[in-house]
Structure formats: C-alpha cells, structure tokens
Amino acid sequence: MAPQTLMDKLVSLCKRRGFVFQSSEIYGGLGSVWDYGPLGAELKKNVKDRWWHAMVRARDDIEGLDSAILMHPKIWEASGHVAGFTDPLVDCRTCKARFRADRLSEFACPQKPSKHPGEHSTCDLTEPRLFNLMFKTFMGPVEEQAATIYLRPETAQGIYVNYLNVLQSSRQRIPFGIAQIGKAFRNEITPGNFIFRTREFEQMEMQFFVRPGEDTDWFERWRGLRLAWHHEIGLNPAKLRWHEHEGKELAHYAKAAYDIEYEFPFGWNEIEGIHNRTDFDLSRHQEHSGKKLEYFDQASGSRYLPFIVETSAGADRITLTLLVDAYREEQVEGETRTVLGFHPALAPIKAAVLPLVNKDAMPETAAALYNDLRKHLVCFYDDGGAIGRRYRRQDEVGTPFCITVDGQTGEDRAVTVRHRDSMHQDRVGLDQVKGYLEERLRGPGG
C-alpha cells in the first residue's frame, strides 16, 4: 500500500476530529463542497475574527460592510464578469470528456491515462469554447418571468457599489478603506485540493481608496501589512513568498498585482492577492449606472475618481493553510504523536481540563475550574482514558494547554499546565490559571 501523503492524513484527521466533512456525505457527497465541523467552524471563525479585528476594528481608516450575495445583474455587466469571466473548455469527440483548454497537462486522457488529452492517437478535441463561471439563478416566483441574477463571484463589487453610501454615512476622507467578509461562488470546472479551490468559498476583501498618484505607495504599504498579518497568525515565513503577475497574467483591470503564495504539499499556491486596480472599477460603475462617483478632495480642491488598492484573501484557503502549516508528526517515547501546532490565538480549543483520575475530589475540582474558564475561553473537559492518551487527543486538534487536576491539587490548590509544543509542565495555582492562560493566548494585534 502506498504511504499516505500529508494531504491524505490531514483530510482524514479533519473528518475524524470534526474539522471538515464532505458536504451531503450521506447522499454520496456533492463535488468539491465541504462543511466545517465543530472544530473547523471555530478555527475558521477565529481566522475571520482576527482579520476583522486587524482590518476594521483596530484601524480608524477602514469601515466594515456586509453586502448581500444577490446583486443587480447590471453590476456584472459593468464589472466585465458577464462578458469576460470565462474558462476555455474543449470536448473530446472520442471519449466525450471535457477539459480546460489551458490546463490540458493537468488532466489524463480517459482512454490512455499515461497521456494528456489530445496526445493519444484517438483523441479528437473540439476548438476551445468559453463558459461563464458565474452561477445563474432566477429572482421572482416564475422562472420565465423572473430576472436572471447571479451569485456573486467576488465580494469586491459589493464594496464598489456601496462606496458613495459608506463615504456619506461615515466621516472618512480619502485615503480610506472598506472591508467585508462573505461568501462568493464560482462554477469552476476544475475545483480541488480539499478546501483550497471550491465552488462556494468565503472571501475577506478590503478595498482601499486613494488619490491617483498615491496608489503605488499604498500598494507597497498594503503588501507589507498583509504579509505581516500572515506571519502574525503563525504561518511559517519560509513557506510564504511573493508572486508578481506579469505580462498576460496581469488582469485587464490591474496596474500591478502580487500574490502571497504558500507552499502546499500540492505546490506553491495563492492565498491572498494584493492588486492595484486603478480607477477601473469606479469608472465602469460610473459609466454603467450613470451616477457620478467622483470624490471631491478638500485638501487639493480637486475632483477625481479614486484609485483602489485591493487586498483579497480566502478564508477557506487560509484555514487550510493553517491546518497544513500546523500539521506535524513527532516521535515521543517510541510513539508517534500528531500535533496541530496552531498559534494559540487561532486554536479552536484553548485549554483542556483533565482530572487525573475520577476520584478523590479531582473531578469536582476540575469541573469547577472548567465551568469558570469556559466563560472566557473555549475549553474542553475530558475525563476518559489514560492521561497520556488524553494529551495526545488534544495535541492532535491543536489545543495549546492541558490543565491537569491531580492528587496534589487538594493540598497545594495548584494544577499542572502542560504546553502542547514543548510538553513542558508548569505548576500553577488554581486561582492563577485564568490569568496564566490569558497572558499566553493574547492574539496577534491584541
């Protein structure tokens, strides 16, 4: 049997311990759609909350927004998604299979799997045809009379069309940003790599509006800030790199674009993009809506369409990155221990409370501590099995601290706090535990 790859092991752990389940599994699953289980929901919520804190609450030059998934269909004409948001597909007349024309080398020929589509003698490929990636639906009760609308393929447009309303209702002046977190949908023909590329996904996007001419400065500043954020949530800096979009790779709306890439087991891939979108989006919406979107700059006494620097991150991708980056196996006392070494601020469970044995008032003391701690932190109580096995169960889901109530606790009113990574143990007074944990759990940025 072939050895399990890291991704195989991670997918298996994710299901077994409740991070990620296949959607609709009891019905045979739905292709490349995934559900977050109890621990995955907490982990992803922590990612989103850290981002919201760093981008909205801790800054006074960025406003939050939560725009709807359903939007006016003209928005996607203005943005270029109706005309241009397409993948080129080819069909094989022989085997009836369909492939992305620009990625034939990623597919195997169904008739001759050692070759790629088009390479085998019987292959008979059509010319590439363009297919739109937006999910279409119908608003209104009767399909034939309803408006055709789309599930948004990105959250950014919701920010652009609300730019005037945010400007007028807040007290912001340029430069300032608008940030939002929300679902988007793309009918990808080649989704895959677990939760890396899915048809339904969640974006964390921020659009920063600046004076033309100051866009390059702000672009560089946001590159720096965003890379620092990925360091702060604990990702290994050696596995992060910049990828600059050049030539044909650069989107039609962008003057400059850099991806932050992470080295996944399946290769270097984008987890966030920083884009200088110029005034492309606002000028398109100004033209298509007929509404003036210019900004009157009191400092310069001039009117202009602001330039936009975008930071666009995937909440699911970053959740996957945290899982991949945190996963390790170690040999300890002749056994393999699996650890998810999350940054404590991101870990789904912050502390486990464990009575060493279920007698001599240990369960009562442990339960009282647990009930006190969980008002402030996500905690887990476990009284089942040998203490070493309970430690391993917590290591495997990334719990940074295990607190053991033992036979001595009754005398010294203290407990053992075990650190996940070093396995070092501290003796901490029962009334000091909360402060001890809070000090060590303090997240990036407060």
8 Å CB contact between 200 and 290: no
- If the CB atoms of residues 65 and 233 are measured against its own copies, the closer one turns out to be 65
Q: Measured from the CB atom, is 250 or 443 closer to its own copies?
A: 443
- Counting Cβ atoms within 10 Å, is residue 303 exposed (0-12), middle (13-18) or buried (19+)? exposed
Number of residues that bind its own copies (CB under 8 A): 90
Tell me which of 47, 109, 151, 354 binds its own copies, using CB under 8 A.
151
Q: Which stretch binds its own copies (CB under 8 A): 155-163, 260-268, 294-302, 304-312?
A: 155-163
Shortest distance in whole angstroms from residue 189 CB to its own copies: 5
- Is residue 110 near its own copies by the rule CB under 8 A? no
Contact residue for its own copies among 381, 423, 434, 441 (CB under 8 A): 381
Binding mask 114-143 for its own copies (x = CB under 8 A): -----------------x-x-xxxxxxxxx
* Residue list 164-223, contact with its own copies (CB under 8 A): 164-166, 168-171, 180, 183, 185, 187, 189, 199-200
- 96's tokens: 């009836």
Burial of residue 347 (number of CB atoms within 10 Å: 0-12, 13-18, 19+): buried
CB of 95 to its own copies, least distance (A): 15
Q: Is 386 in the site for its own copies (CB under 8 A)?
A: no
Residue 273 pairs with which residues in a beta bridge?
259, 312
Residue that the structure tokens 């005034």 belong to: 279
Among the listed residues 303, 219, 282, the one whose alpha carbon sits nearest the alpha carbon of residue 255: 219
Q: Which is nearer to its own copies, 276 or 319 (CB)?
A: 319
Write down the least CB distance from residue 69 to its own copies, Å: 6
Q: Is the CB of residue 382 less than 8 Å from the CB of residue 399?
A: no
If binding is defined by CB under 8 A, does position 245 make contact with its own copies? no
With both helix axes pointing from N to C terminus, report the angle between 315-326 and 38-52 in degrees, rounded to the nearest 10: 110
Residue 10 vs 257, nearer CB to its own copies: 10
C-alpha angle with apex 381: 375 to 383, nearest 5 degrees?
A: 155
205 CB burial (10 A radius; 0-12, 13-18, 19+): buried
Owner of token pair 């400059």? 256
Residues between 64 and 83 that touch its own copies (CB under 8 A): 64-72, 74-75
Is 275 buried (19+), middle (13-18) or exposed (0-12) by CB count in 10 A? buried
Dump strand ranges (E) for 112-239: 129-132, 136-139, 147-150, 176-185, 200-210
Using CB under 8 A as the binding rule, whether residue 7 contacts its own copies is answered as no
Give the contacts of 347 (CB within 8 A, at least 6 positions apart).
43, 46, 340, 398, 399, 400
- Regarding 52 and contact with its own copies (CB under 8 A), the answer is yes
- CB count within 10 Å of CB 196 equals 22
Q: Compute the least distance from the CB of residue 131 to its own copies, in Å.
A: 5
Q: Could you tell me the smallest distance in angstroms from the CB atom of residue 70 to its own copies? A: 5
> For residues 241 and 389, which CB has a smaller minimum distance to its own copies in the complex?
389
Whole-number Å distance between alpha carbons of 305 and 240:
34
Using CB under 8 A as the binding rule, whether residue 40 contacts its own copies is answered as yes
The whole-angstrom separation of Cα 399 and Cα 392 is: 10
Range 81-100, binding its own copies (CB under 8 A):
87, 89, 98
Tell me which H or E stretch contains 195.
none
Question: Pick from 261, 382, 395, 406: which binds its own copies (CB under 8 A)?
Answer: 382
Closer to its own copies by Cβ: residue 209 or 219: 209
CB of 204 to its own copies, least distance (A): 13
Look up residue 133 and give its two tokens. 């990636």
Hey, which residues between 304 and 343 contact its own copies (CB under 8 A)?
none
Q: How far is the CB of 98 from its own copies (least distance, A)?
A: 7
Minimum CB separation of residue 186 from its own copies in Å reads: 11
Closer of 17 and 275 to its own copies (Cβ): 17
Of 424, 401, 412, nearest to 353 by C-alpha is 401
Segment contacting its own copies (CB under 8 A): 56-64, 220-228, 326-334, 415-423? 56-64
Contacts with its own copies, 19-38, as mask; x by CB under 8 A: --x-xxxxxxxxx-xxxxxx
Type of residue numbered 76: W
Query: At its nearest, how many Å lie between its own copies and the CB of residue 406?
Result: 22
